Structure 1
Amino acid sequence: MLDLLKGVRVVELTTIVLGPMAGQMLGDFGAEVVKVEAPNGDLARYVDPRSKAGASSMFANNNRNKKSIALDLKTEEGRAILLKLVDGADVFLHNMRLQAVERLGFGPAALRARNPKLVYCSAIGFGSDGPYAARPAYDDVIQAASGIARLPTYTGNDPSYVPGVIADKIAALYAANAISAALVGRERTGTGCEIEVPMFEVMTSFVMTEHMAAASFDEAAPAGYQRLLNRHRRPFPTSDGWIAVLPYTERHWRKTFEELGRADVVAQPWFGDATDRSRHVGEMYEVLGQEMPKRSTGDWIATFERLDVPHSRVSGLDDLLNDPHLQAVGFFEPTDDLESRVRSVPQPVRFRTSPSGPDRRAPELGEDGPALLTELGYGADAIRELEDRGVLGRGTRQQTEDV
């Protein structure tokens, strides 16, 4: 944990991945992040695999450096406690549907009227000004809506999802970045602001940055960056595995084809011009695909290392756990004392000259509730009464929803 955002309090009313990952990034940078959960807890707590103590890997890897308070927000007392937390907060982050957050009384107008310095961030599915605003949104839905799932069809395959929660995680990066910028802006102006991070628009931006292509200049032109959509652009099979290789400059391509004994390609009249060469990139990829199976992956790695041509072994998930570079930088070392935890996914950005300390493990459900209420002025008897009545939750309860 760093101390770059020390003194900033974030009240996070989020679940699953998008909001929790954004909040964790702020916590990694030193903010005090108070995660507000329902009495049953964030659904991600119950996703397998879990440790012997019942802790979920998904929850642990998206909720370090946070405190947890479990509140029944269907009760007047629970809502009152959340409002008191927000009164002393710098940031409010939620990923609820806008209608739901407004029904609870936690919309941006209401909270910023109480706390004008508040940075209010809604991490939602679709922008509030459009016709899709009320739709439920999950990662697969956003991958489909934003074009991600359709991209494989341009290379002759069926639509497919990226096998990861890519839309949630990319939107989380945008949210954390926007919140950080808003905090800097508040230092200059003295007032907070309202931020909306819609997954659909975020992922459309993510997809179309390169794929606008000719459509950037001609309304009648089709979208699509052809180098990326070429069916020959893919990891290539070797004699014993797979390799990725990307000759990018003329020098890269020339050295590669000379190594392959394919002077015929270098001799083509289009080879020496970058624009013409880009029009023939599919042909060059096809040549690579013909040649790669003739040697082993290790041989090609040594060859491309010698030629200084961009390349990589095609790693599997288990390969990453044993990757020599990641081992050398201590990437998967545990960052908390969670029972049975032998590896964790860390904050990958390194601030070389900023002081840092140990991370705080992902919290147990509601473990910080009594301490937070004490800060807000509640006495011990009042806290016990709230616990007895179920307004203040503590400990993991049985989860009955599908996860």
Structure 2
Amino acid sequence: MYQLLNGLSLVEVSSFVASPTIGLYCAQFGADVIRVDQIGGGQDFRRWPVNERGDSFSWENLNRAKRSVALDLTKPEGRELLVRLCQQVGTLATNLPAKGFLAHDKLAQGRPDMISVRVMGWPDGAIALDYTANAVVGYPALTGHGDEPVNHSLPAWDFITGAYGAFALLAAVQRRTATGLGGEVRLPLTDIAIGTVANLGRVAEVLYSGHDRPRLGNAVYGTVGRDFVTADGVRVMIVAINERQWQGLLRALDIGAAIAGIETRESVCFAENDGMRYAHRDAIFAVMEAAIAPLSHAELAERLDAQGVTHGPYKTLPQAMEDDRLFTANPMFAQCDSNPSGFAYPAAGAFATIPQMERAPAAPAPLNGQHTEQVLAEKLGLSSGEIARLIDTGIAGVAQ
């Protein structure tokens, strides 16, 4: 964690991945993020993976460094408290409907400079999830082999939306600081997905060519890259993405003569021409396979490292967690013994490294309602008696 956003307060009313990620990234840089949930936890409070008690490791890690307020949002008084809290703080991140009780125009009636960042499915308010957004923009049609779509398990559009949402929120805050103006930022998952696809050149590619690109299995589009198996059974991804790495690959595998033979046979030149190498990838891959097959993974890695060629063995997550660079000696991780689940383990802090600043360890997530009394007194100025009444009547909840 880094204290770069001290002074910024944010109310977060959200669930699942994209919207909580906005608050998480802000909290990791020092913002005071107040997560508001239904008493007992919202719809993502028990989301898998879970421990034997049903405590969610997903919720626990997406809500680190935040404060928690629990309200009964099924009751008008609970919703009114949340509206007042949003208006008092002045900044909101949510994935609740645009026309619900946290509609921006309603909040702005009591706070003209209100900022709302709202994660949505489709721009018109229709529901979409990461997995359905991924399906409609065509990426499952590019993975694997054959005719069936193949989903990947990483909710990439959720995380891209969360990161973009944190960026958009800070941009809106900067505008408010400069002009006094608030406003709403809407982030439809489908726009994030198709916009990212367009930024990668794929929309222009389809419009220009008139068709989609073929499935490539584990090959990398547009360059020399694929998985290969060593003599000791290790599967390795190798990518030569520029001329330096291409020449290094030829030296590392001692395949210069064989590649020259392909060039002569096909009347082409691979030097300084990544596209030509990609077009003749099958012939190149066959030469690479023959050169790699007799080598152990250790021998192959030594050769590729000596020539500056990018490579990496395929690992399971348990295997990855044995890697010093990734996990065991990575300063991004710090032991956290006070997790709501009761399970102590190294937790990830801010992904960025700022060499000029001291990195604070990852903070624990709150218990549901852990900061209800504190926030209601601090932000809304409620007396201890009024807070006690809200708790006794079930409008507000505290950690148990």
- Whether 1:114 aligns to 2:110 is yes
Whole-angstrom distance in 1 between the partners of 2:309 and 2:362: 38
Q: 1:209 aligns with which of 199, 202, 211?
A: 199
- Range moving further from structure 2, 233-242 or 55-64: 233-242
User: Equivalent residue for 2:46?
Assistant: 46
* Structure 1 segment 76-225 matched on structure 2, within 5 A: 76-98=76-98, 102-104=99-101, 106-128=102-124, 133-134=125-126, 136-152=127-143, 155-156=145-146, 158-212=148-202, 215=205, 219=208, 221-224=210-213
Whole-angstrom distance in 1 between the partners of 2:242 and 2:185: 41
- Range moving further from structure 2, 373-382 or 301-310: 373-382
- Whether 1:264 aligns to 2:251 is no
3-state SS, counterpart of residue 35 of structure 1: strand
Whole-angstrom distance in 2 between the partners of 1:214 and 1:206: 12
Q: Percent identity?
A: 24
In structure 2, the CA distance between the partners of 1:288 and 1:180, relative to structure 1 (3 Å rule), is farther
RMSD: 2.7
Q: Match for 2:242: what amino acid?
A: T
Whole-angstrom distance in 1 between the partners of 2:375 and 2:355: 33
3-state SS, counterpart of residue 170 of structure 2: helix
Q: Is this contact kept in 1: 2:224–2:240, CA < 8 A? A: no
Please give the TM-score of this superposition, normalised by the length of structure 1. Answer: 0.86
Q: Is this contact kept in 1: 2:225–2:240, CA < 8 A? A: no
3-state SS, counterpart of residue 46 of structure 1: coil
In structure 2, the CA distance between the partners of 1:358 and 1:248, relative to structure 1 (3 Å rule), is closer
Whole-angstrom distance in 2 between the partners of 1:58 and 1:9: 23
After TM superposition, give the deviation of residue 52 of structure 1 in Å.
6.8
Deviation per CA, 1:120-166: give whole Å up to 9, x if none. Answer: 101111113xxxx32x222221221222222216x546312111222
Q: Is this contact kept in 2: 1:331–1:346, CA < 8 A? A: yes
- Range moving further from structure 2, 191-200 or 207-216: 207-216
Whole-angstrom distance in 2 between the partners of 1:152 and 1:24: 31
After TM superposition, give the deviation of residue 293 of structure 1 in Å.
2.8
In structure 2, the CA distance between the partners of 1:9 and 1:205, relative to structure 1 (3 Å rule), is same
Q: Is this contact kept in 2: 1:8–1:90, CA < 8 A? A: no
User: Equivalent residue for 1:323?
Assistant: 323
In structure 2, the CA distance between the partners of 1:224 and 1:189, relative to structure 1 (3 Å rule), is farther
* Structure 1 segment 16-31 matched on structure 2, within 5 A: 16-31=16-31
After TM superposition, give the deviation of residue 345 of structure 1 in Å.
2.5
* Structure 1 segment 227-376 matched on structure 2, within 5 A: 228-229=220-221, 233-239=225-231, 240-262=233-255, 263-267=257-261, 268=263, 269-274=268-273, 275-326=275-326, 327-335=328-336, 337-338=338-339, 339-354=342-357, 357-375=360-378, 376=380
Q: Match for 2:329: what amino acid?
A: A
After TM superposition, give the deviation of residue 282 of structure 1 in Å.
4.3
Q: Is this contact kept in 2: 1:124–1:196, CA < 8 A? A: yes
Whole-angstrom distance in 1 between the partners of 2:242 and 2:381: 65
Whole-angstrom distance in 2 between the partners of 1:247 and 1:94: 42
Please give the TM-score of this superposition, normalised by the length of structure 2. Answer: 0.87
Whole-angstrom distance in 1 between the partners of 2:203 and 2:95: 32
* Structure 1 segment 55-66 matched on structure 2, within 5 A: 55-66=55-66
Deviation per CA, 1:314-344: give whole Å up to 9, x if none. Answer: 2221122111213333333224622322121
Deviation per CA, 1:289-322: give whole Å up to 9, x if none. Answer: 4433322222211110011111112222112211
After TM superposition, give the deviation of residue 276 of structure 1 in Å.
3.1
In structure 2, the CA distance between the partners of 1:349 and 1:365, relative to structure 1 (3 Å rule), is same
Q: Is this contact kept in 2: 1:9–1:33, CA < 8 A? A: yes
In structure 2, the CA distance between the partners of 1:220 and 1:75, relative to structure 1 (3 Å rule), is same
Q: Is this contact kept in 2: 1:36–1:68, CA < 8 A? A: yes
Whole-angstrom distance in 1 between the partners of 2:63 and 2:89: 19
Q: Is this contact kept in 2: 1:3–1:355, CA < 8 A? A: no
User: Equivalent residue for 1:400?
Assistant: none
In structure 2, the CA distance between the partners of 1:259 and 1:356, relative to structure 1 (3 Å rule), is closer
3-state SS, counterpart of residue 187 of structure 1: helix
Q: Match for 1:222: what amino acid?
A: H
Q: Match for 1:247: what amino acid?
A: A
Q: Is this contact kept in 1: 2:349–2:363, CA < 8 A? A: no
- Range moving further from structure 2, 77-86 or 281-290: 281-290
Whole-angstrom distance in 2 between the partners of 1:283 and 1:201: 39
In structure 2, the CA distance between the partners of 1:331 and 1:31, relative to structure 1 (3 Å rule), is closer
- Structure 1: state its 5+ residue gaps: 397-403
Whole-angstrom distance in 1 between the partners of 2:358 and 2:332: 18
